[in-house]
Structure 1
Amino acid sequence: MLAMQYRFVLPADYDMAIIRQRIQQRGHLLDGFPQLEWKAYLWSEGDGQLQGAVNAYAPLYLWQDNDGINQFLASPGFAAVCADFGRPPVDIWSVWACLGSQALPTAAVCYQQTQTIAPGTSLAALCRQEQERATRLYQQGAVTVLSAYDPQQWRLLRMSAWSTAQDAMQQVLHSDGYQIGYVAMKS
């Protein structure tokens, strides 16, 4: 499994209703896309309601394999995103743990954290720690938890999705918060 994300940070005065409307009108178009497990249409507003929030559009994908990523990046849908916002750098992460994928559509918010993997860190030990952390978050009420790493930039990605922001308050300190506008799922 591979996670993929790109992020557009938008001006502070950007009308985020445009992003919400875009998600509402186009979100369903990726339902059933080949090799896509899910796409979470993430957005945030710099109004201070969620920690770390700025005006941003940052969809997060879970792919079965690289073929799905290649098909999507060559698709008219991604071309439309690039035409509207510019071509973004795309982060691709190798997945260590993903719990509760089928429940992701029930989540309203998600929190993400990225951190550098220090030189000399045992990847095997870090993988076990992240799998344990994912299990704990899932047991504490997260509906979906994802842990992945990027060996090109040596970074770790943690994502947990929750039914409400209140549910997550103590579990996800120091994370960026996003609203989930829609979740496209595999068929």
Structure 2
Amino acid sequence: MHAMQYEITLPADHDMRSVHRRIATKGPLLDSWPGLGLKAYLVRERGLDGSPVNQYAPFYLWRTTEGMNAFLLGAGFRTLCADFGRPAVRHWTGAGLRRGPGAVDGPAAPGPLAATRLTERLPEGADPADAVERALAELPDHPELHTAAVALDPSRWELLRIALWRAGAPAGAPGTRYRVHHLSSPELDRLPAGRHW
């Protein structure tokens, strides 16, 4: 599993309805993308959920590198770059996954409405295996949890934790808060649960 995200920060007075329309029209294009576990179309809006910025920040869990490469080198990402400029794409190696009770299958099933993302730089001398084990043990076990994942960027020794929530994120859930405007999850059921090593 590979985690990936890019963040496009928009001006404070940007009409975010244009981003909502973009997601509504383009989001379903990835609903059957080969090799994609999930893409959560994440949005932050200035003044909502404590956000200081307007931001479009889609998050991906890829099952295959072929699927990821086909997306990054394909027409859809090329169009995004033409519209917003080419963003820096962050990438983490997947370390573990939990599907929660809120991950209901089926085309009519309600998707998640919120997400939280927390990143942590591992201190010099910290054992990465211990940090990952601790993060996996701390993955939320909550009735509204849709999906949670832990991933690691070994170039920066940065740990990522992300959780998708069927309703709003619970009070006290740590991390940056996003609203989920669409979820494409063609191969989520093929991503292995639990520890990934």
Q: Equivalents in 2 of 1:8, 1:139: separation in Å?
A: 30
Aligned residue number for residue 117 of structure 1: 122
Q: Equivalents in 1 of 2:6, 2:54: separation in Å?
A: 14
Q: Equivalents in 2 of 1:46, 1:139: separation in Å?
A: 28
Within the alignment, does 1:132 sit opposite 2:137 as a pair?
yes
Aligned residue number for residue 85 of structure 1: 84
- Pick the structure with more helix per residue: 1
Confirm or deny: 8 A CA contact 2:132 2:159 kept in the other structure: no
| Cα deviation, residue 139, structure 1 | 3.6
Aligned length: 181
| Cα deviation, residue 114, structure 1 | 1.2
Task: Kindly provide the amino acid, as one letter, of the partner of residue 88 in structure 2.
Answer: P
Q: Equivalents in 1 of 2:144, 2:166: separation in Å?
A: 8
Unaligned runs of 5+ in 2: 105-109, 188-197
| Cα deviation, residue 11, structure 1 | 0.6
Task: Kindly provide the amino acid, as one letter, of the partner of residue 182 in structure 2.
Answer: Y
RMSD value over aligned CA atoms? 1.8
| Cα deviation, residue 160, structure 1 | 1.2
Task: Label 1:86 to 1:103 Cα distance change in 2 as closer, same or farther (>3 A).
Answer: same
Task: Label 1:80 to 1:177 Cα distance change in 2 as closer, same or farther (>3 A).
Answer: same
TM-score w.r.t. the length of structure 2 is 0.86
| Cα deviation, residue 140, structure 1 | 5.8
Deviates more, 1:62-71 or 1:18-27: 62-71
Aligned residue number for residue 93 of structure 2: 94
Q: Equivalents in 2 of 1:5, 1:94: separation in Å?
A: 12
Task: Label 1:140 to 1:53 Cα distance change in 2 as closer, same or farther (>3 A).
Answer: farther
Unaligned runs of 5+ in 1: none
Give the percent of matched residue pairs that are identical in Structure 1 and Structure 2: 34
Confirm or deny: 8 A CA contact 1:138 1:145 kept in the other structure: no
Task: Label 1:169 to 1:10 Cα distance change in 2 as closer, same or farther (>3 A).
Answer: same
* SS in structure 2 at match of 1:71: helix
Within the alignment, does 1:158 sit opposite 2:161 as a pair?
yes
Within the alignment, does 1:45 sit opposite 2:45 as a pair?
yes
Q: Equivalents in 2 of 1:127, 1:180: separation in Å?
A: 26
Task: Kindly provide the amino acid, as one letter, of the partner of residue 37 in structure 2.
Answer: E
